[in-house]
Amino acid sequence: MKERYALGLDGGASKILSQLFLINDKNQILNESRPFEVNYKNLEKFDQSFSPVKLKVQKEQNLDKSITILPKELRQSKVIIEAIIKSIENFKSFDISVVGFCFPGIKTKNLDGISVMANGPRNLKMLDELNKKINIELSSFTDIKKIYDDSLSCVYGEKFSLNGKLRNCSNGIYIGGGTGIADGMVYQNQIIDLTTESSIKKSWELIMANGDSVEECFSLGGLSQQWNSKKPKSIDKLNDLFIKARIKNKKAEKIIFSAGEAFSLLINSRISFFQSKGEYPEKIVIGQRLGLILSEKNHPLKNIILKNKFKDIPIELSSNRNTAALGAAYQAINGDDRE
């Protein structure tokens, strides 16, 4: 049998992570390559000082269909597209049947652009611009059909990876942490698409008593912004926050405490959903870079999370950073992206 491959592309606020998956004639993933990463900051035209349009303004423009993409967003979007092209080029020698691409933010109606982006530039024509560049620079490569939700892709990855933490879980809560939060749920062995479930508030829609969202208080990007608001969000510099929290620095302790409250609000919201259906979560999975960070011994953020027992629901950490790429590939393989 001829070898067939699927490529998963996981776009984020700081980088593109790509991974190649060997698939059989039943569209099952048999093997995977090592992840390949392209960081935007390493590309020539990356704007280190870029800051996104205020989220409130983005939401208002999206609601009344008056979106105005700024020149700085257009320039930064071109850097992201360049990073995607470099990611694809790394695997161009393989016979790739299908590509799954996920990205954060609220998507346009046809899932071909980004209309709201908390930690990066909006681009209403992202897929069109990307495919045009693919056709010019990689003429024999297949087009990308749609932009998948990154949170949903993370849950798919944990559910269908051979070693995924949600693989044998019928009712579970997932929280992935990078610059933003990827949150999702498995209910009665089915993955819930939070983008279509308006009754379930997402992390950026859940507002705490101080007026901040759960995502602003608990995401790694949010923690970075609170710790040093004068500099662009950089989750690479969070070690300083965690070190200061360990030595009882008051500002650091306050930020960590607020993050713990945000986590509790998010989890209790999810528990309420299950209870309203007569079910109960089997586990809470914390993944992506946040899962990797919290795996450190005696981590201050993990300590404050574990203080709340959440009615004895076990918390498991996933250090697998490629779950979204795998989830995007899985959706493309088993959806309408197939050739």
The verdict on 81 and 211 lying in the same domain is no
Q: What pairing do the DSSP bridges indicate for beta strands 172-177 and 36-39?
A: unpaired
The answer to whether residue 43 sits within a structural domain is yes
The verdict on 135 and 202 lying in the same domain is no
Question: What letter does residue 41 receive in the DSSP assignment?
Answer: G
Q: What is the C-alpha separation between 180 and 94, in angstroms, rounded? A: 32
What pLDDT is stored for residue 339 in this prediction?
45
The answer to whether residue 198 sits within a structural domain is yes
The verdict on 179 and 307 lying in the same domain is yes
The verdict on 34 and 175 lying in the same domain is no
| Helix pair angle (150-160, 323-334), 10° resolution | 90
Q: What is the C-alpha separation between 8 and 20, in angstroms, rounded? A: 6
CATH assignment of the domain containing 81:
3.30.420.40
Run of H or E residues at 244: helix 239-246
The verdict on 45 and 99 lying in the same domain is yes
**What angle (nearest 5°) sits at the alpha carbon of residue 111, between those of residues 173 and 157?**
35
The verdict on 177 and 114 lying in the same domain is no
| End-to-end CA separation in angstroms for the chain | 18
3-state SS assignment for residue 270: helix
The verdict on 313 and 329 lying in the same domain is no
The answer to whether residue 32 sits within a structural domain is yes
The answer to whether residue 267 sits within a structural domain is yes
The answer to whether residue 160 sits within a structural domain is no
Per-residue pLDDT of the chain (339 residues; tens, 9 = 90+): 567 899 999 998 889 999 999 988 887 788 889 999 999 999 999 999 999 999 889 999 999 999 999 999 999 999 999 999 999 999 988 989 899 999 999 999 999 999 999 889 999 999 999 999 999 998 778 889 999 999 999 999 999 888 899 999 999 999 998 888 988 999 999 999 888 888 899 898 899 998 999 999 999 989 998 998 766 566 667 889 999 999 999 999 999 999 999 999 999 999 999 999 999 999 999 998 899 999 988 899 999 988 877 778 999 999 888 899 999 999 999 875 554
Domain residue limits at 215? 167-319
> How many domains, in total, are found in the chain?
2
User: Around Cβ 60, how many Cβ atoms within 10 Å?
Assistant: 12
The verdict on 128 and 192 lying in the same domain is no
The verdict on 79 and 218 lying in the same domain is no
Question: What letter does residue 142 receive in the DSSP assignment?
Answer: P
The verdict on 310 and 243 lying in the same domain is yes
Q: What is the C-alpha separation between 58 and 49, in angstroms, rounded? A: 19
Q: What is the C-alpha separation between 118 and 157, in angstroms, rounded? A: 23
The answer to whether residue 156 sits within a structural domain is no
The answer to whether residue 158 sits within a structural domain is no
